[in-house]
Amino acid sequence: MATDVTVPTLGESITEATLGQWLKQPGETVKLDEPIASLETDKVAVEVPSPVAGVIGELVVAEGDTVSVGAVIARITEGASAPTSATPAVEDRTAVGKAEAAAPPEPAAAPAGAATPAGYGNHGEVAVGDSPTLSPSVRRAVLELHVDPSKIKGTGTDGRITKDDVLLAAKSGQASAKAPAPAAPVASAPQSSTSSTSPDRKEERVRMSRLRQTVARRLKEAQNTAAMLTTFNDVDMTAVIEARAKYKDLFEKKHGVRLGFMGFFVKAACMALKDIPSVNGSIEGDEIVYHDYCDISVAVSAPNGLVVPVIRNAQDLTVAGIEKTIGDFGKRAKDGTLKMDEMKGGTFTISNGGVFGSLMSTPIINPPQSGVLGLHRIEDRPVVRDGQVVVRPMMYLALSYDHRLIDGREAVTFLVALKNAIEDPTRILIDL
């Protein structure tokens, strides 16, 4: 008996997704609720679980196809055992930008169990028949670091390979792989193509992910809609650095998480937002919405682009609670397991470009929010203190805001309040 696998509900207002990767191929056995495919939505990657235990029979759609909620994407034969070989049902598709005149005739589709050199398939993708099941983020790490997944011992659930496993293997050099050799096409839609006019001049075309398309659209909408302006200030990080150095070991021992700078900045931002409520507000039609809570969006780097999960009611959390939440977001962003609900809402955003070495930037607001705080790298600079020139660890702060709602005076007052709290962390403790 065959059971249809359908696209699950993806969240409010999301009606379609892109099939990013098949985690199982025809002929492979699958357990109940075991992930068989990964879908890319406008916000996060969503894994599709198997509704029954059995054997994958037919893949109805190919990687890269757009699918709607409720659409059938595969069929599973219940209770069957895996055959010795199976032929994928989805036909290979020609790569975009392929040089037809120079291309040899297309070979027939290879069976799912066919061997492929060094654990790679067509277009440098991981060959399913020769390597363990890989999530999108893990597959990308494998390709970028040139490691052979078949030589990596997975530490994840059911022995699945995690991104940390790939990074460790690449660092140790024990799973290095040669560059992928030409191979017969696998049964999936290629995500990229490479063309060249000479050995030293190559070009690669990669389809934009649904997440990247959404980010691009929303950022441009923000520029077109809001009257954006950016105000700068700098902050002396001496007190926070000293507090962190003094208590980081005890903090980690008690709370199980490292003490970073974001905990201080989120708490300081909540205090400043309370004093300047317009920075925490938004415009809806001809009305201004003021929030008496602080849902802080934190920009987190993920394999497919920037994602912005939300720390709910950050004003009620301790520094430890904030650090735990951010740490969890960062880990799950890399694994591609953030949930839809964790990406919704948010009244104010903090983006820390300093971790990548940024000195100064003008961040773009995240609609319908009206403000975003940009943090930058800490570097020693000469400043004047009590009439003396001294060297202090300084950081530039940038507040981009919607000038339709927030006046320059309010923006400057917000940054000064934030600066005062960071330079004298005791203010955070006594709510001053």
Q: Judge contact between 189 and 65, C-beta under 8 A.
A: yes
Which residue in the list 146, 255, 291, 403 is annotated as catalytic? 403
Which residue in the list 316, 407, 424, 431 is annotated as catalytic? 407
Q: Which of 386, 425, 364, 407 is nearest to 235 (CA)?
A: 425
316 carries an active-site annotation: no
Q: Tell me how far CA of residue 67 lies from CA of 10, 18, 338, in angstroms.
A: 11, 6, 20
Q: Judge contact between 267 and 428, C-beta under 8 A.
A: yes
b (16+ CB within 10 A) / e for 353-388: bbeeebeebebbbbebbbbbbbbbbbeeeeeeeeee
- Category of 309 on φ-ψ map: left (φ > 0), alpha (ψ -120 to 50) or beta: beta
DSSP secondary structure of 251-272: HHHHHSS---SHHHHHHHHHHH
| DSSP three-state, residue 18 | strand
| DSSP symbol at 24 | S
Strands 296-298 and 348-352 turn out to be: parallel
**Residue 203 burial class via C-beta count within 10 angstroms: exposed 0-12, middle 13-18, buried 19 and up:** exposed
234 carries an active-site annotation: no
- The encoded tokens of residue 38 equal 């990964």
State the Cα–Cα distance between residues 367 and 328, nearest whole angstrom: 24
Element containing residue 245 per DSSP (H, E) = helix 238-255
> Residue 275: how many CB atoms within 10 A of its CB?
13
Q: Judge contact between 82 and 55, C-beta under 8 A.
A: yes
| DSSP three-state, residue 77 | strand
Q: Judge contact between 348 and 273, C-beta under 8 A.
A: yes
- The encoded tokens of residue 262 equal 């974001």
- The encoded tokens of residue 402 equal 């919607």
Look up residue 356 and give its amino acid: F
**Residue 390 burial class via C-beta count within 10 angstroms: exposed 0-12, middle 13-18, buried 19 and up:** exposed
Q: What positions carry a catalytic annotation? A: 403, 407
